[in-house]
Amino acid sequence: MTALVWLRQDLRLEDQPALVAAAAAGAVIPVYVLDDEAPGDWRIGSAQRWWLHHSLAALDKSLRKHGSRLILRRGPVVAALRTIVDETGADAIHAIRHYEPWWRAAEDELGDRLTLHDGNHLRPMREITTGAGAPFKVFSSFWKALSATLPPEEPLAAPREIPAPEKWPASDKLDDWHLLPTKPNWAGGFDIWTPGEAGVAAALEAFADVGADYEHQRNMPSVEGTSRFSPHLHHGEVSPRQVWHALSERGVRDAAFDRELAWRDFTSGVVLAMPRYADENGRPRFDRLPWRRAPDDLEAWQRGRTGYPIVDAGMRQLWATGWMHNRVRMIAASFLVKHLLIDWREGERWFWDTLVDADYGNNSVNWQWISGTGVDSNMFGRIMAPLVQSEKFAAADYIRQWVPELRKLSDEAIHDPETAGCRPASYPPKIIGHREARERALAAGREVR
């Protein structure tokens, strides 16, 4: 008996039910297929590709310690898997279930050859549904239903042995995929990350030191108070239930963090129910909203040149490191949609390309939440004031780190140097005033109503 283990966003040996099932039955051929055709507009973004390169290398190294290896192929995923089955005479394909629309289509096309396992959520998605058996579209209801099933099951240990086939199929060379960045002045700070399961272990240990004060510190961008698990979770180097139990073992249990972990599961349910959620407003009436086509404003936002220091710091952090502090993500996203009145999909796609943790469900649901266009979202008329947010969450040192033009300004002046009368010539004026932007956004919202 020989089985393929089809790997996607589940690049780990621990708590890997597809791998455990295949190894228990016979020889195993772990396979990763880089398919840039099936997702269409949602091909893997540039920052994710950097992470993917290092994560695949780390996984192959781990597999080789177990007498196995990772087979790489590129092209349409269903055709690639069928080719490997024909080459090896494999009897089955095992995989962890995914909820992105292109993965669901591929799973359906593979049919009876494919055995699917649950493993990327706190609980199997089919168990957390409404009374009608449908995925939840409101988080509070989802959280209530999920909470009744927690804690999650204990994670599975990695297989002690991963039986090898008599003959390995051919594999692409990872370097030939050219996943690493070529854009100038980009990704200079990606060295803060350690992709792979070793990086997960380090992140868990680091978070254990701050987790007790997570609810307060998570909103302070100048403080290292967040978990930074998101890219590891997105690429499946760790499962949510592994995170849950690992933190419990370390005495770190925080209600705010638990809800954020559950939010990732919730967003999978939203895109399961509404596969085009990343492209279409969750509330169709917002199709009438008069978005502005303003390429210069969009570029100023992307490059961190809006004249609002907290927004610019976040966008520059994103460009350099592939990640942005969660509180600042909300501020920056709200600024694009409400202050600049630019379609949320423009921001969503920028994040998709530049975030190492860009997740189809999480990214789309978060953008629609801040935009007010989603099925469970903030009100469109609720407009975050970036200058107030910057002062409230003590972002002065964060701004100094990412906007060096303002480094010498005082804590009082740095949030709004233009009003304070000390804006350096090297730093741009505000792209639009807060009051003017707010009135324009509210007028646009009235058109929708």
**DSSP string spanning 408-439?**
TS-TTTTT-HHHHT---TTSPPPSS-HHHHHH
- Alpha-carbon distance 57 to 177, whole Å? 12
Does the annotation count 186 as an active-site position?
Answer: no
Does the annotation count 418 as an active-site position?
Answer: no
Annotated catalytic residue: which of 109, 153, 280, 291?
291
Q: Extract the tokens encoding 102.
A: 């292109």
Does the annotation count 402 as an active-site position?
Answer: no
β 27-34/92-96 pair status: unpaired
- Alpha-carbon distance 446 to 449, whole Å? 5
Dmax (CA) for the chain in angstroms is 74
Annotated catalytic residue: which of 186, 326, 391, 405?
326
Annotated catalytic residue: which of 301, 344, 350, 352?
344
Does the annotation count 263 as an active-site position?
Answer: yes
- In total, the chain counts a number of residues equal to 449
Triad 102, 105, 111: Cα angle to 5°: 145
Q: CB under 8 Å to 214, separation ≥6 — which residues?
A: 225, 226, 227, 252, 254, 256, 257
Annotated catalytic residue: which of 186, 263, 378, 405?
263
Does the annotation count 344 as an active-site position?
Answer: yes
- Alpha-carbon distance 226 to 407, whole Å? 24
- Alpha-carbon distance 229 to 136, whole Å? 24
Pick from 189, 226, 192, 223: nearest CA to 206:
226
Annotated catalytic residue: which of 42, 103, 193, 367?
367
- Alpha-carbon distance 405 to 382, whole Å? 31
Q: CB under 8 Å to 111, separation ≥6 — which residues?
A: none
Does the annotation count 6 as an active-site position?
Answer: no
Q: How many CB atoms lie within 10 A of CB 281?
A: 21
Active site amino acids: 260, 263, 291, 326, 344, 367
